[in-house]
C-alpha cells in the first residue's frame, strides 16, 4: 500500500511523538508513515524516542539563522529533500509564518491541549492552558487536532476529545490526563485521517 511520508515536528519530551510511533507499531497508522522527526532544540527526549524507533531525525535551531524566513527556508528544504507530504506539529514551540503554512495548505496539523476555541491562541501552550482552564472553572476540557494556518490555533478543527476536570486537579495532573485520555488518542487518528485524504487526492489527479 502507498504511504504518505510524514514529518513530526517537536521541541520537548515527545509524548505525542511516542503515541504516533506506538500507533504505527500497532498498525493504527496504515497510510501515514512517520519517516522524519525534526526538533528545533538539541538534546530533547523526543530525539531519543526517534533514535530508539529508528526514525531519521534532524535538528534546526532558530538561533542559527538571522531571521524567521531563513529558518523556514531550511525547514522547507529538509521537508522537500525527504519527500514529506504531511507535517504533524507535536509540541513544536515555534510559530510558523503564513508564508510557510501557505506552502502546505491542508498538510500541516497540530495538537492543542484544550477544546478550541477555549484557551488557545498566542501565549496558550503547555501548562499555561491547564492553569487557565482551572482558573476559569470550566468542568470539561480536552484536546483538539486542527489544520495549521497563519493564525496560532486558528485553523479548521479536524478532531476533538473531551476530558472531565476533577475537583482535586492541579495543572500538572490535568495536563497528564488530557495527554493520556485525549491527545494520545486523537492525534494518531487525525494523522491517519488526513493522510488518507492526501492519498486519495493524489490518486484522483
> Could you tell me if 120 and 153 are in contact, meaning their C-beta atoms sit under 8 angstroms apart?
yes
Kindly name the residue from 112, 130, 146, 184 that is annotated as catalytic: 112
In the block, cell 489544520 appears at 147
User: Would you tell me how many other CB atoms lie within 10 Å of the CB of residue 132?
Assistant: 18
Q: CA nearest 130: which of 95, 79, 179, 197? A: 179
184 is catalytic: no
> Could you tell me if 3 and 33 are in contact, meaning their C-beta atoms sit under 8 angstroms apart?
yes
93 CB contacts (<8 Å, ≥6 apart)?
11, 12, 40, 125
Catalytic residue IDs: 112
Amino acid at each position: 500500500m502507498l504511504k504518505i511520508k510524514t514529518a513530526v515536528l517537536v521541541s520537548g519530551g515527545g509524548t505525542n511523538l511516542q503515541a504516533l510511533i506506538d500507533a504505527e507499531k500497532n498498525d493504527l497508522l496504515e497510510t501515514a508513515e512517520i519517516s522524519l522527526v525534526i526538533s528545533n532544540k538539541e538534546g530533547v527526549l523526543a530525539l531519543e524516542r526517534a533514535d530508539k524507533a529508528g526514525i531519521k531525525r534532524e535538528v534546526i535551531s532558530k538561533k542559527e539563522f538571522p531571521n524567521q524566513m531563513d529558518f523556514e527556508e531550511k525547514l522547507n528544504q529538509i521537508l522537500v529533500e525527504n519527500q514529506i507530504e504531511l507535517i504533524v506539529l507535536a509540541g513544536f514551540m515555534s510559530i510558523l509564518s503564513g508564508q510557510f503554512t501557505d506552502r502546505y495548505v491542508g498538510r500541516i496539523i497540530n495538537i492543542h491541549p484544550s477544546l478550541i476555541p477555549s484557551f488557545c491562541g498566542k501565549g496558550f501552550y503547555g501548562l499555561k492552558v491547564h492553569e487557565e482552564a482551572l482558573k476559569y472553572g470550566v468542568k470539561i476540557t480536552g484536546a483538539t487536532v486542527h489544520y495549521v494556518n497563519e493564525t496560532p490555533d486558528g485553523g479548521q478543527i479536524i478532531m476533538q476529545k473531551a476530558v472531565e476536570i476533577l475537583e482535586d486537579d492541579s495543572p500538572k495532573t490535568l495536563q497528564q490526563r488530557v495527554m493520556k485520555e485525549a491527545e494520545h488518542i486523537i492525534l494518531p487518528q487525525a494523522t491517519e485521517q488526513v493522510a488518507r485524504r492526501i492519498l486519495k487526492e493524489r490518486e484522483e489527479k
